[in-house]
Amino acid sequence: MFHRLHLFGTEGWAEIRNDRRYEFKPLKGDGTVIEFDAVDALNAQLEAFAAAINGERAFPVTPEDAVASVAALEAMGRSAKSGQTEIV
């Protein structure tokens, strides 16, 4: 499986690839690359959900953050379709 999120902005671009590599390249200056260890993300999400349901700890993503993430993804889709900058 391969997935990638690549964002382009007025100050440069950022890419997340396969949840293991983050790269940022500003228009000016040096870029940054961070490599992460492999993680079973689905298992981690299920464990966090179970812990939250059992009252052991809060779920690490707030409802507000979840809504903001969906709004950002929807804006990306609108931008891709319209070719214009979209406000989140």
Mean pLDDT, consecutive 10-residue segments, the chain of 88 residues?
89 93 96 93 93 96 95 94 91
pLDDT, residue 74, reads: 95
Burial 49-86 (b: 16+ CB within 10 A, else e): eeeeeeeeeeeeeeeeeeeeeeeeeeeeeeeeeeeeee
pLDDT, residue 79, reads: 93
pLDDT, residue 87, reads: 87
Structural domain spans, the chain: 4-61
CB atoms within 10 A of CB 12: 14
Measured in whole angstroms, how far is the alpha carbon of residue 12 from the centre of its chain? Answer: 17
